[in-house]
Amino acid sequence: MPGPLEGVLVVDLTRVLAGPFATMMMADLGARVIKVERPGTGDDSRGYGPYVEGRSMYFARVNRGKESVALDLKDPANRSVLDELVDRADVLVENFRPGVMDRLGLGPETLRARNPGLVYCSISGFGQTGPLRGRQAYDTVVQAASGLMSVTGFPGGPPVKPGAPFGDLSAALYAFGAICAALVDRHRTGRGARIDIAMFDCLVSLVEGAGLYWLADGTDPGPIGNAHYSITPFDAFSAADRQIIICAANDELFGRLLAAMGREDLAEMPQYASNLSRTQHRDLLKDELEGTLRKRQADDWLALLTRAGVPCGPISTIAEALGSEQTEQRHMVVTVDGWRQPGNPMKSDRTQEPVGSGPAPDLDEQGAALRREFGRPAQ
C-alpha cells in the first residue's frame, strides 16, 4: 500500500535533528527523501551516540528511509546535480543560518523562480526575521530563550532543561505540518510556498499555561514542579513506596477521587469547593491527599483509582515505557535493518506500517545513482 506522500520528492539539506526529524516523517509516509551531505564527513550527527556496531543510532533513526548524496556545492559538476534535483523537487527543507542559502545562490526567490511549485521550508533557531535571526542556536539555547527552562523544575530550584530536545522536535513537527498543508494548497492553486519555522516561535507557542498567565495579567510564573498552573489536583503524589500521577481535572473527578480515598470530608471544605479555589490552595490540598496516599502502596492506589474512573498512572522509566505491552501493540518500537528504533505515531487505515522506513544510508551511498539520474548533460 503506497504511503500518502508517495510521489513527493524532497530535497533534504538539513542536519542533526530538527530538519532530519521533519523529513523522516515524510519518508515514513512514503515520500522520496534525498539527503544532500557534505563530502567526507556528512551530517554532524553521524558522529553522535549511542552506537550499535560502530554506527550512530542517533543518525540512523532520523534518517531512515532516505537516500544520501555527498555534494560539494562549490564544484560546478556537483552543483549542477543539486540544481537539477531542486528543479524537479516538490519540497526543499534546509536548516542553515538565515542568509547562508542566499549566499549559495539557493535562496527561496531564486529557486522558486525556476520551480514555482516548490515548497521551500527553512528551519532555524530564531527565524528569518527579527533581531535574533542571525544567532547560532542549538536546542538548549532556544529552550532557555523561550522561557521554557524558567518554568521547568521545582520552586526555589535552578532553571532546568526538560529531558527531551523539545526545541528541535517541536520545530520538526510544525515544519512537517506546514509542508503538508502547503502541498495540499499547491494541489489547489499550483503554487508552492515559502515556509519559515523558528524553534523559538515553536516553543513560545507551547509554554501554554505559564505563558497564558503572563498574557492575562502580567504574572511571570516560576516553576511549580509536576503540578498544573490551572488545574488541581493534577500532580505527582507520594504513596507509601513511590510517586504516582493523579489528574482530577474537574469537580466530578475530584469527587470520585475523594470517594475512592475515603476523604469525602475534604469536599465539605470551602477551600476545595471549586477548581479555582483548589488551585489557590494547591499545596495545602496536596498535603491532605498525601497524608492518606502514604498509607498504601502505589499499585494498590492505582488499581483503586482506575476502578473509580480517576485518571492516574505510574511514573515509568524509559525502559518500562519502551518495553511495555502498550508500546509493542502500538508498534512504537520497530526494527529497521536489524536495529530497534522508535516507531511512527501517525496511524492510519490508509497507510501500511511502517512506510518508507528502510535503513538510514551510508554517506553518499546512492551518490553514483543519483548523479546519473539528476546529472545534467554538458553544455
Active site residues: 228
SS3 of the chain: the string is CCCCCCCCEEEEECCCCHHHHHHHHHHHCCCEEEEEECCCCCCHHHHCCCEECCEEHHHHHHCCCCEEEECCCCCHHHHHHHHHHHHHCCEEEECCCCCHHHHCCCCHHHHHHHCCCCEEEEEECCCCCCCCCCCCCCHHHHHHHHCCHHHCCCCCCCCCCCCCCHHHHHHHHHHHHHHHHHHHHHHHHCCCEEEEEEHHHHHHHHCCHHHHHHHHHCCCCCCCCCCCCCCCCEEEEECCCCEEEEECCCHHHHHHHHHHHCCHHHHHCHHHCCHHHHHHCHHHHHHHHHHHHCCCCHHHHHHHHHHCCCCEEECCCHHHHHCCHHHHHCCCEEEECCEEEECCCCCCCCCCCCCCCCCCCCCCCCHHHHHHHHCCCCC
Judge contact between 217 and 275, C-beta under 8 A: no
> Whole-angstrom Cα distance, residue 254 to residue 11?
52
Judge contact between 318 and 309, C-beta under 8 A: no
Count the neighbouring beta carbons within 10 Å of the beta carbon of residue 150: 18
